[in-house]
Amino acid sequence: MKSRHHAVALAAKYLVILFLFAFLLFPVYWMLVTSLKTNVESYRIIPSLWPEKVSAGGYQTLFQDGKFLVYYGNNLIVSALAALLICLISIMSGYALSRFHFRWNVLLLATFSFSQMMPVISRLISLYGILRRLGMTDTRLGLVLAISATQVPFSATLMASFFDGIPRDLEEAAWTDGCGRMKTLLRIIMPLVVPGILAVGIYSFLMTWDDYLHAVTLVRSPALWTLSQGLKLTYLGEVSDWQLINSASILGALPMIFVFFFFQKYMVKGLVAGAVKG
C-alpha cells in the first residue's frame, strides 16, 4: 500500500517535470522549426512538428537585406561598450562600498536600490529632454550612458559582495609593504575577484542586450537602431512574415544562449549572491 502510494507520487513528479519543461522549452523549439519552414508550410491548418522541406530562406533574406546586420552590429557595439563601462564603474564603486564604511555609504546604497526600482519610462520622459539639450539624443554615446546608468546600482552592490569575500589582511600587508591604495586595488585585489568581474560583465551584457525602451525613445535614425528596436519596428507589421521573424529571433537569441552556457558558473554564482545579499 505504502509503495503504491510512493509510485503514484513519483509518477506525478515526473509528469509535472515533463509538463513544465515542455512549457519552457517547446516555444524555443517552435521558434527554431518555424524559422526553417517556408511560410506556405507554416500557414497550414495542422502544423507540422518538423519542416517537410528545410528552408533557410529567412536567414538568407536577413543577411542580404542590409538592415538586420546593421541592427545586430549596433546592438553588439552598444552592449559591449555598456558592459565594459558598467564593469569599470562597478569595480571602483563596489570596492569603495565594500572597504570604506563611511556614514553616507548607507545613504548611497539606499539611493542605489531606490533608483533600481524606478520604471524606465519615468526617467525617459525627462531624460529625453535632458539629452536633447546636451545634443546626445540619437547618438550611441547617449544610449550607452543611459543604459549603463540603469545597471550600475545592481552591478555595484553585486561587485561589493565579491570584494567582501576578500580578506582585509591583504590590504594591510600591502600597506605595510609600502604599496599605495590604487596599486593595491589593481595588482592585489582585482586579480582575486575575476569571477566577480566576469559575473558582472556577463550579466550587464545580457541585460543591455535586452534593452528596448532606451533605444526606442533615445535613438530615432534607423542607422543606429539596435536589434530589439529594429525587430519590432521593421519586421513586425500588419502582415508578418513569420519565417523571417523567427529566423531573426533565433539569431538574436543565440549569442545570449551561448554566452550563458559558456559562463554559466559565474553567472549563477553572481545572481544568487546578488539576490541573497541584496
Q: Is residue 241 near other proteins by the rule CB under 8 A?
A: no
Q: Is residue 74 near other proteins by the rule CB under 8 A?
A: no
Site track for other proteins across 19-38, x = CB under 8 A? -xx-xxx-xx-xx--x----
Q: Which of 148, 163, 166, 197 binds other proteins (CB under 8 A)?
A: 148
CA distance 151 to 83: 9
Q: Which is nearer to other proteins, 170 or 223 (CB)?
A: 170
- What is residue 51's three-state secondary structure? coil
CA distance 79 to 211: 9
- Residues 52-71 within binding reach of other proteins (CB under 8 A): none
* Residue of 69, 228, 249 lying closest to 143 (CA atoms): 228
Residue 241, classified by CB atoms within 10 Å of its CB into exposed (0-12), middle (13-18) or buried (19+), is middle
Residue with cell 536589434: 227
Q: Which of 153, 196, 201, 270 binds other proteins (CB under 8 A)?
A: 153
Q: Is residue 209 near other proteins by the rule CB under 8 A?
A: yes
Please tell me what DSSP assigns to residue 132.
Answer: H
Pick the piece of the chain touching other proteins (CB under 8 A) from 50-58, 66-74, 190-198, 268-276: 268-276
Instruction: Tell me the residue type at 245.
Output: I
Cell triple for 190: 582585482
- Residues 162-191 within binding reach of other proteins (CB under 8 A): 168, 171-172, 175-176, 181-182
CA distance 141 to 225: 13
Tell me the closest approach of the beta carbon of residue 229 to other proteins, in angstroms: 8
* Residue of 208, 218, 221 lying closest to 255 (CA atoms): 208
Q: Which of 81, 83, 228, 266 binds other proteins (CB under 8 A)?
A: 228
C-beta separation of 136 from 142 below 8 A: yes
C-beta separation of 163 from 191 below 8 A: no
Pick the piece of the chain touching other proteins (CB under 8 A) from 55-63, 64-72, 114-122, 187-195: 114-122
Tell me the closest approach of the beta carbon of residue 89 to other proteins, in angstroms: 5
Pick the piece of the chain touching other proteins (CB under 8 A) from 50-58, 59-67, 189-197, 224-232: 224-232
Q: Is residue 225 near other proteins by the rule CB under 8 A?
A: no
Q: Is residue 80 near other proteins by the rule CB under 8 A?
A: no
Please tell me what DSSP assigns to residue 235.
Answer: I
Instruction: Tell me the residue type at 201.
Output: G
Q: Which is nearer to other proteins, 36 or 127 (CB)?
A: 127
Q: Which is nearer to other proteins, 171 or 192 (CB)?
A: 171
Q: Which is nearer to other proteins, 129 or 165 (CB)?
A: 129
